Every structure is written in structure tokens, then in C-alpha cells.
Amino acid sequence: MKLLTAHVTNFRSVLDSNPVAIGGSTCLVGKNEAGKTAFLKALEGLNSVDPDYTKYGKTENYPRRFLADYAEKHEGDEALVIETVWELDPVDVELLSEEFGDGVVSGTSLTIKKSYEQESTSWILPIDDAALLKKLIDRFALSDSDKVPLENCRSTWLAGHRLEKLEEKSESQQELLAALSKYPKNNACTKARALLEPHVPKFLYFSHYDRMAGEISINQLAKDKAQGGIKDGDQVFLDFLEYAGTTLEDLTGATRFEEMNAKCEAAANRITDQIFEYWTQNDQLEIEVRLDEGKPEDKPPFNSGPVARARVKNNLHRVTVPFSERSAGFIWFFSFLVKFAQIKKRQGNVIILLDEPGLTLHGTAQKDLLRYFREQLEPKHQLIFSTHSPFMVPADDLASVRTVEDVVKRDKRDRAYSEGTKIRPDVLTTDPQTNFPIFGAMGFEVTQGLIIAPDTLLVEGPSDILYLQAVSKKLQMLGRTHLDLKWAICPSGGIDKVLPFVKLFYGNKLNVVVLTDFDRGQKRKLDDLYKAELLEDERIILATEIADQDEADIEDFFTTEFFADLVNHAYSLAGKNKLTAKKLADAEEGTARLVKKAEAYFRVLPDTVPMFSHYDPAYHLLTHPELLDANTKAVNDTLDRFEAAFARIAKYV
């Protein structure tokens, strides 16, 4: 059974949340105090695994500003807190069909509600009670006179009630009543609920995330058990041993040192392999499990008797430290994975509610946590979690994100008032502060998405991409060296942007080559790029090296004649405005760069001619590749230069 929607009302800051669509994983994003916890706690209260959480308690949880008007506002009834809609699994539908026969199950959705002061829940089931009653009447062949007491009766419980009141019953009426009495209180819907109730998931809520104790005194643990409870951190340690494939009893039950040591090492090896599949912050760590005798000078209760200890070995620094001395983020992540591995084994059919998980984790570790959610939790459980961290927002699945906002408006007297917490799927249309984590996640994802292949060619701008694509396609048609399709061409914004760009993606171990424009004023920036040693010098290809001049853009791969012709076609220049190779060469004598010359030429043209843009000639060439078909020296020399650049790049595929 799967939760489809949840609609919370009259609970803490939530006056009316709006119906909230719930998927396999649902991320609630909002500021502190926006109402994320209120929504999760209302959801938990519908069917909690906590045996003590059976009532909502209106004194504590009903919106306090309206509590005095509770009776009047709800006309003597109890206020509704939550209404949920569930999708029945095929096995659920089959179960109902087997019980009631064909034509009675009217759909595949189930509604479950709960109000204040209600320990149980109210159900709306997909059972056509009237159709079932008609089937039963037809089965037992009630005569017209037998049907008279059942006139206008459309439910099984009412039919049973009326039949029970008859002093004398016909044989057919008795058979019908016997069939109805198989249902609790003659009610088919009550029977249907009894069949489905074991299949409804419970809600498992977490806001406090226990951290594993690094050591356990066996004697103290036995004492704690005898006195009625195990400390939270000690319980996580026991879960950790079970997760690793052993138990404390296994370790203490060993009769020889080598046997005990082998069990400890086996547990350590298994937990290391499992945990570090998701902890990518440091792959030089190992977990060690030891069982030894406490030493007199250790802190009680670890100064006597058997003590189980977990230690973390750093292979890079060749040192082991107690588990408790690792970073808070590592301890949290480790403890969380251990805890939820055991939940998967023990809890069965639960929906997991996580309130602000992973707050102590680095951004990339939060990404690891999302991967754990996706790979380990979601296949077995629906998951709803809240966050205000951009790294916990699944930017690749924004459809699963819901914004949570305490909506504040102003009345006619310009006084602020709250409409309560609203939860929406339109993640880009609410308060900017609410959306901040989403925008941050999108920005990170877009930046990461700029690199779309392991082999990345950095160029200056979009026009460079168009030129490279157009000429490469022509060279490929001619069977000459062209740009391999493996290369993802990405604009970096210029040579001064290459270094931060490469640093940003350095950890991705990408194969990067740079093809960049260059002028003499950029020498220091080029030197900085070389000094950084993030790229081999040969991977930085300057346009000047291809064009054989001191300053150059990619446009300088073209001959002056061809570029003038391309500009004429792109801007429909004719007559006295038509550009020639001589006009282009004379336009700006202080530079050899064709782009600068073209810009200077356009400045003296009439206002009816558009301003020169780098992009227009590039787009025209891409859309009119026939300009490269001419078998002229101007075209052939241009193709030769581009081919030389592609040959340099091809060395690194």
C-alpha cells in the first residue's frame, strides 16, 4: 500500500497545508519554524510505531490562537487533523475481491482520516456496499415480499439491522442475515478494513539521531538491562555489531583468543566494506572492533571486566583513534547507516519520516546520504524528509520537492497576519528565502551539468562552439581529422575563468583540454594557469599557436578573405557596405585579430546595419555549411588551421 497524498489541518502552525502529493521519496524544504516538523508529526500521529502516540491532544497541538473558539469553530465536532489517500497494491485489491466477489471493489484508492481525541482512524473504502447487498439478495433469491423490509436500503449494516428487528423471517431472509453476520456488526466495510489494516504502513519518525558509543562495558550493559534500559549510544553499538554480522554474545562466547580475534576482525572487515560504500569523504579509513579487559586506570566503568571497543584506523596516517574522536559528521553518518540498516530488517512495512537529517555533514557527504536514501531506503520504504540544506535537495528530481512556508500577509490596516503553513509543489514560486536551498541545489546541479562527458574541451564562448561544430562536420565529410564526438565542448568565459573552472571540477578526474583566445594583456593570467599545474601545458592550446600571430581568437583560424565573405552573408552586406579582405585588414591597424577589425568596421557603417556580434557569423556558418564547400585557397587554408587544432586536441582522447 502506498501513500499518495496527505492533507494536514488544525495542527500547530498548519491551518491548512493543502493536499500534499507524496512519492517514493518526498523532500520538504523550508526555513526554520516554517512548519516542516508540524507536518511530519501530524503524519506520524495517523499510525505511529510509537505505542504512546495514539492521540494528537488538542490542548498541546491545536493552533493556540484559535483554541478558545474550538467548539464554536467546529460546531461541537472534533477538528480534523489529517486526511490521507492511499493506493492499494494489486494484492490488496485481490484480497478484497476474493472476499466480496466481482463488481464490489469500486476502485484502488483508500482514504484514512484522524481527528483530535480520536485514538483510531476513520476510513473511506473502495467498497460498493449497495452492489454487494444486491448480489446477496439475488444469491438468496428473496421474493418481492422478502425485499419489502430492505426497501431503500443501500448498505449491508442497515440491511442486517432491519432483518434482525423482524420477528419472523423467511428462509431467504434468514440465509441473507446469516451471510451478513459473517461481517463484524453486519458491515462489509468493517470486514474490508480488517482485511486491509495489517497492510497499512506505520510511520517511523526521527528527529533525534543517536550516535554510537565508541566503547561498551559488558558488565555495565548487563546492569543497565537488569535495571530496565540500555543507553541510546549503547544500543547503536549493539546494532552495529549485528549489522556487521555478529553479536556481543558471539564475541564474549568465544573460548579462545584467536576465535575471539577472528570474530572481531570479520565484523570489522564487513562493516568497513558496507559503510565506506557510502562514506566517500575519506577512503583511507577502516573500522576495527576489539574486545579486551578494562585497565585499572581507565575511566569507570571501562576500568574492569570485558570492554568492547570500536576504533577507526587511518591508513594514510597509520594511526588508530577511538571512534568517539572522529569528526561529528563521520560519527553521525556511521550511526545513521547502522541504525537504518537495522530498521530495514526489523520494522517491516513503515514509512520513514526524517526531520532535518545530516545537519553535521559536509555538503558532499550530504550528497552521499541522498544516495543512501535512493539506493537503500527508497526501494523498501516511502521516505519523507525535511531540510534547509541545498545539498540535501535532490536537484535531479525536483518533482519530489515540496516547499514549506508560513505564509504571512497583511490586512487592510497593513497589519501582518499568518495564514499558517502551506506546502506546495510549485517550488519556484514561493518566498525567496524558502526557495534558497532549492536555488542553491539547482545552481550546483547546473554547474555540475556543464560537464556532460569525461572528455571536456573548454572554449571561451558559445560562438566558439558553433564554429568548431560547423568546421568539424565539414572535415569529417572530407575524411580529414575532425573533433571526436567524445568531446563535450563547454564555454568557460575566457582564459581568466579557466583556472577556477578547472579547480571546481578537479575532483571529477575529467580529461580536460583548453582551446582559448589570447591577447598580450592576458599573459599573467596564462602564467597563473601554468603555475597551478592542474593541467599539463600541452593541454592549453592558444589560438595564437594555430593562427600563427601574437594575438588571436578562434575567428583568426579563418583567412581574412573567408571571414569577410562569412560576415557579408551573415549581415547581408552589399554595395558600398560590403566587406572585402582589404577593408577588413585596414579597419583596425593596431591589431591582427579579425574580430576587432570587424567591430571597428561596423562602427562606421550606417545605423541601419546591426551591431557586429561574435555569435551571428558563427550561427550563420553552422546553418549554411555550404560556404565551406568552395574549393578555394581561402576555404582550404581555413580548413587546414581548424584541422591542426583538432589534431592537437585528438592527442588527448
CATH of domain 1-126+351-447: 3.40.50
Residue 600: CB atoms within 10 A of its CB come to 17
Residues with Cβ within 8 Å of residue 606, at least 6 apart in sequence: 577
Question: Mean of the pLDDT values across residues 150-161?
Answer: 93
Q: Would you state the pLDDT for residue 81? A: 97
User: Is the pLDDT confidence value at 296 over 50?
Assistant: yes
3-state SS, residue 82: strand
Residue 301, preceding peptide bond in cis (omega within 30° of 0):
yes
Q: CA nearest 248: which of 221, 284, 273, 281?
A: 221
Quick: pLDDT tens for 52-62: 999 999 999 99
Cβ atoms of 232 and 210 closer than 8 Å: yes
User: Is the pLDDT confidence value at 10 over 90?
Assistant: yes
Interatomic CA distance for residues 177 and 173, integer angstroms: 6
Angle separating helix axes 188-196 and 129-139, nearest 10 degrees: 120
Q: CA nearest 306: which of 218, 247, 241?
A: 218
User: Is the pLDDT confidence value at 416 over 90?
Assistant: no
3-state SS, residue 85: strand
Task: Give just the sign of the alpha carbon dihedral 410, 411, 413, 415.
Answer: negative
Q: CA nearest 33: which of 395, 358, 433?
A: 433
Cβ atoms of 557 and 642 closer than 8 Å: yes
Cβ atoms of 163 and 176 closer than 8 Å: yes
184: left (phi over 0), alpha (psi -120 to 50) or beta: beta
Task: Give just the sign of the alpha carbon dihedral 386, 401, 348, 184.
Answer: positive
Q: Would you state the pLDDT for residue 160? A: 94
Q: Would you state the pLDDT for residue 448? A: 54
3-state SS, residue 297: coil
Quick: pLDDT tens for 126-152: 999 999 999 999 999 999 999 999 999
Quick: pLDDT tens for 64-86: 999 999 989 998 899 999 999 99
In one-letter notation, the amino acid at residue 593 is R
User: Is the pLDDT confidence value at 93 over 90?
Assistant: yes
Q: Would you state the pLDDT for residue 412? A: 86
Q: Provide the pLDDT confidence category of residue 117 given band limits of 50, 70 and 90.
A: very high
Task: Give just the sign of the alpha carbon dihedral 243, 245, 251, 257.
Answer: negative
For the chain, the structural domain boundaries read 1-126+351-447, 129-188, 209-348, 450-653
User: Is the pLDDT confidence value at 439 over 70?
Assistant: no
User: Is the pLDDT confidence value at 427 over 80?
Assistant: no
172: burial class by Cβ within 10 Å (0-12, 13-18, 19+)? middle
3-state SS, residue 402: strand
285 beta partners: 314
State what percent of residues in the chain have pLDDT above 70. Answer: 93
3-state SS, residue 381: coil
Backbone angles phi, psi at 480, to 5 degrees: -105, 170
Mean pLDDT across the chain = 87
Q: Would you state the pLDDT for residue 402? A: 93
Interatomic CA distance for residues 255 and 142, integer angstroms: 77
Residue 37: CB atoms within 10 A of its CB come to 20
Task: Give just the sign of the alpha carbon dihedral 135, 137, 141, 147.
Answer: negative
Quick: pLDDT tens for 579-609: 999 999 999 888 999 999 999 999 999 988 8
276: burial class by Cβ within 10 Å (0-12, 13-18, 19+)? middle
User: Is the pLDDT confidence value at 507 over 70?
Assistant: no
Q: Provide the pLDDT confidence category of residue 555 given band limits of 50, 70 and 90.
A: very high
- The C-alpha cell at 337 is 547507516
How large is the C-alpha radius of gyration of the chain? 36
In one-letter notation, the amino acid at residue 28 is L
Q: Would you state the pLDDT for residue 19? A: 96
Residues with Cβ within 8 Å of residue 58, at least 6 apart in sequence: 67, 70, 78, 79, 116, 117
Q: Provide the pLDDT confidence category of residue 451 given band limits of 50, 70 and 90.
A: very low
Residues with Cβ within 8 Å of residue 259, at least 6 apart in sequence: none
